[in-house]
Structure 1
Amino acid sequence: MTNDSKKSVPLSQDAVQMIRGLIIGELVTVAIIGGLWLWLRPRLQVDNGAFASSGQGAATTSALAASNFKTVTNVPIGSFNYGGSTAWAPIRQLVDSQIQITRPELQLRYVNPTTTSPGSGSGIRMLLDGKLDFAESSRPLTDEEKDIARQRGFILEERQVGIDGVAVVVNPALKVPGLTVDQLQQIYLGQITNWKQVGGPDLAIAPLSQHPENADVVLISGKQVLDEQALGSNVQYVYSTTEALRRVNQTPGGLYYASARGVVHQCMVKALPLGLTSTQLTPPYQEPFIPLNECPQKRNQLNTEAIKNGSYPMTSKLFVVIKQNKGKEQQVGEAYLRLLATEQGQKAIEQAGLVAERSHEPIARGQVNLK
C-alpha cells in the first residue's frame, strides 16, 4: 500500500454539518428523556408507608411539611371518581380546581348518585360499592358503615380537613328571635309543633329535612344516623337543599337546616340565630343583618369567626373518607388528603368560606358539635 493511500480524505463541508447535526440531535434526545424521567419518577413512585395502617396521623405526615400542591409527593396519575357531601361544594369549586391546574396528572371527576339524592350517606355507600375511589363527608362514619367495609375485606378511614357551620333557615316573614339547640331537636322529634312555643306567632311549624340516610348533617345529638320513624310525623322530606329553600320560601311556617355556607347568603330564606340557651343566641351571619329586600345587591355573609372560635353552637366536621385496601383507591384518597392538608390547601378551604381544620380553636364549653 502506498503512502498516498494511507492519507485521510478531507470531509466536505456538507458532511461536517450533517455529522454535527446528528450529534446535536442525540444530545437533545438524551436531555429530553432525562428530563421526562425526572418529572415522572416522583409521580410513579408508590409510597409503601402510605399504604400502612395510618391510624390518626400517617396519611398526612408528609403534607404537614408540604407548603403547597406542587410539593406533595406520591400523587397518582390517572382519572379518579369521587363524590359525597353537598356541603363540600365550595371546596370542589375552588380548591379542587386549583389542584387540577397545579397537578394535571391527577384528574378528579365528581359523580352523583343515580337513584338517591347527593349527600354524605349516598357518597359513602357508593364508596362501599366500588363506584367511587374516595368520598367526602360532613358527618362521621357510622358503625354500620364500618362493619360493611370490614365484611367486604377493607377498612374505611375518615380524616378531618375542615369545619362547617350548620344553619337553620325559616320563611322570611316569620318573626322569631332564634332557637336553642334543644328546641331545634324537639321540633324535629315532633315535641314542639307550633312557633308560639318558642316565642313566635301562633303558626304550625313545617320542618323539612333530607332523608336521614343521605343527609349531610345528623341533627339529634347522640345519634349517628336516624331512622325516619324517629323524627316527628310532620317532618317533610326533600331531595336537595335547593328544593328545601324553595319550599320554605313558599311555606309561612317552614324550617330547614343545612350547611351554613350554602344557605346564609340566600335571598329566599332567613337564617336564625342559635344558642345553647335563649339568652346566648349567636347568628350564623355577620352582623348587622342585611334585610332580604336588599338582596341580591347585598347578601348576608357567613360568620366564620364565630364558627372558628367556637361561639357558634352548631358545627359539622368535614372528612375525607378513604378506602384502606392497599390499592389505587387508597393511594388517591390519601393523596387528596395530603393536598388539602398543605398550607395552600388549608388557605383555599378558608377562601371557599369554610373553616380550615388547623385554624379552629378548641370547642367552647357546652358547644354542640353535630355527629
Structure 2
Amino acid sequence: MDNTNQKKAIINNEIALFLRGLIIGKVLTLIVIGGLLWWLLKPNLLSRDSVNSSSNQSFNAGSNNVSAFQTVADVPTGSFNYGGSTAWASIRQLVDSQIQSVRPELQLRYVDPVNGSPGSSSGIRMLLDGQLDFGQSSRPLTDEEQAMAKERGFSLEQRQVGMDGIAVVVNPSLNVSGLTVDQLQKIYLGQITNWNQVGGPNLPITPLSQQQKDADTVIFPSNSDLKDQALGSNVQYVYSTTEAVRQLSKTPGGIYYASARSVVPQCSVKALPLGQTSGQLISPYREPMVSPEQCPRQRNQLNIQAIKNRSYPIIANLSVIIKQNKGREQQIGDVYAKLLLTDQGQKAIEQAGFVGVR
C-alpha cells in the first residue's frame, strides 16, 4: 500500500514538473516572438512618430500665423465712447467683451442718444457732434453726413467688417407668399395700401418704421431717386425694433423691416421672402421655415449662404464709422476695425449671427 502511494506521488511530481516546464517554454517563446516583432516594426514606429511630430510642428506654426486680437498693434489705452446701430447689439455683447478681455488696456463704453432712438443715424449724428469716438452703422453714409463732416474740418470713413440682411416681417397670420423690393418700397411710400394688391387678403396695410432721421437700416439705396421721398401718411413710427415686433404681433396687417439677425429668430412675427422679381423670392431664413407653434423650442435661423453670396436682395453692410481727424478718435476707430477684421474678430462676428467679410 505504501509502495502504491509512493508511486502516485512520484507520478504527480513528474506531471507538475512537466506542466511547469511547458508553461515556462511557452512564455519564453512569446517573449522571443514579441522581441522579434518589435525589432521588425521599430523603423515604422519611429517613422510614424517622426511624421506625427512634424504634423504637430506644422500645425503649431500655422496657428502662429492666425491673426488674433493680441496681434493688433498700437491699441490705445483708456476709455472710449461708441454707439450707433441697434443691429450691432449682439456684436457689442459677444465680440466687444472678448476684445476687452484680451486687451484690458482698451475700455469701450456704449452711449445711447439723449434725444431720439438709438440707431445708425443717431450714432453718426453723435459722432459728428463729438459725443462718440467712433460709430457702428448698418447703412451707408449719406452725402449730407459727409458734407457735415467736411464743414467741421474732418471726413468720415466707413470700413466694412461684416454683412447682414434686411428682413421684412409681418403678423404670423398674414397669408402672403412674399414681396418684391419694388412692392416693399411702394408700401412705405403709400402707393400700395392693401394686402390684396400684392396677392394677399383684403386687409389694410399698416407699415411700421423708425423715424428716418434715426433709421438703423434703409430700403431705399443711397443712389436711388426714392431716398429723399417722404414716407406714406399711413406709416406708424416706432422707437425700436422691440416695440415694432410687439405691435406686429397684435396687428394683422402690420409690416416692418429691420436687421435679419434681429427679427428672423423672433417667435411672434413671420419673415417674408424677398426678391427683385416675384419669380425669384429668397427667404431670409433657412428652409424649411419654423412655424410659430414650434417656437421657441426651435427658431428660424439666418440664411447665411444667401447673404454671403448676395443672392438675397437687400444686404446691409456692417461698417465702423471712423472720424478722419488725425486724433485719438481716428486711432481708436482704426484699431477697433482692425480688431474686428482679424481672424479671431471675424469668427466672433459669425458667432454673433452675422456674415464675415474675410
- Cα distance in 2 for partners of 1:167, 1:283 equals 9
Partner SS, residue 217 of structure 1 = coil
SS of 1:193 mapped into structure 2: coil
- What corresponds to 2:217 in structure 1? 217
Tell me how far apart the structure 2 counterparts of residues 143 and 225 of structure 1 sit (CA, whole Å).
Answer: 15
Note the residue ranges of structure 1 that are not aligned, 5 or more in a row: 1-64, 359-371
Partner of 2:80: 80
Cα distance in 1 for partners of 2:238, 2:75 equals 38
Q: Is the 8 A contact 1:142 1:224 kept in 2?
A: no
Contact 1:85–1:136 (Cα < 8 Å) also in 2: yes
Aligned to 1:351: 351
Give the Cα–Cα distance (whole angstroms) in 1 for the partners of residues 245 and 107 of structure 2: 33
Distance in 2 of aligned mates of 1:231 and 1:327: 39
Q: CA deviation at 1:223?
A: 4.4
Q: Give the superposition deviation at 1:226.
A: 4.7
How far apart, in 2, do the equivalents of 1:212 and 1:108 lie?
Answer: 27
Could you tell me which residue of structure 2 aligns to residue 131 of structure 1? 131
User: Which residue is 1:71 aligned to?
Assistant: 71
Q: Which amino acid aligns with 1:244?
A: A
Distance 1:240 1:209 in 2: 9
Alignment partner, residue 203 of structure 1: 203
C-alpha separation in 2, matches of 1:325 and 1:205? 46
CA distance in 1 between partners of 2:273 and 2:331 (Å) = 42
Secondary structure at 1:159 match in 2: strand
Q: Distance in 2 between matches of 1:226 and 1:288?
A: 34
1:225, distance to aligned residue in structure 2 (A):
9.2
**Alpha-carbon distance in 2 for matches of 1:224, 1:89:** 31
Aligned to 2:308: 308
Return the alpha-carbon distance in structure 2 between the equivalents of residues 125 and 226 of structure 1: 18
- Please name the residue that 1:153 is paired with: 153
1:250 is paired with a residue whose SS is: coil
Aligned to 2:182: 182
Shift of 1:134: 0.3
Q: Give the conservation status (yes or no) of the 8 Å contact 1:213–1:226.
A: no
Contact 2:157 2:321 in 1 (8 A): yes
Post-superposition Cα deviations, 1:220-259, rounded to whole Å, max 9, x if no partner, equal 23349955x6111111111000010111111110000000
Per-residue Cα deviation, 1:79-116 (whole angstroms, up to 9, x for no partner): 00000001111111111111011000000011000111
* Correspondences of 1:31-70 after superposition (within 5 Å): 67-70=67-70
TM-score, with length taken from structure 2: 0.80
Could you tell me how far 1:214 is from its partner in structure 2? 1.0
Q: CA RMSD in A?
A: 1.4
Which is worse superposed, 210-219 or 163-172? Answer: 210-219
Q: Which amino acid aligns with 2:323?
A: K
Structure 2 unpaired stretches of 5+: 1-64
- Could you tell me the percent identity over the aligned residues? 69
Could you tell me which residue of structure 1 aligns to residue 91 of structure 2?
A: 91
Q: Which residue number corresponds to residue 267 of structure 2?
A: 267
Contact 1:212-1:226 within 8 A present in 2 as well: no
215-224 or 195-204, which deviates more: 215-224
The structural deviation recorded for 1:140 is: 1.2
Task: Classify the secondary structure of the residue corresponding to 1:313.
Answer: coil
Residue 306 (structure 1) shift: 1.0
* Distance of 1:109 and 1:285 partners within structure 2: 32
Say whether the 8 Å CA contact 2:219–2:314 is kept in structure 1: no
Q: Distance in 1 between matches of 2:226 and 2:311?
A: 26
| Alpha-carbon displacement from aligned partner over 1:180-214 (angstroms, at most 9, x marks no partner) | 11110111111111000111000000001111111
The normalised TM-score by structure 1 is 0.77
1:256 aligned residue: 256
What is the total number of aligned residue pairs between the two structures?
293
The code of the aligned residue for 2:334 comes to E
1:49 alignment counterpart: none
Distance 1:298 1:257 in 2: 22
| Shift of residue 73, structure 1, vs aligned partner | 0.2
Shift of 1:263: 0.2
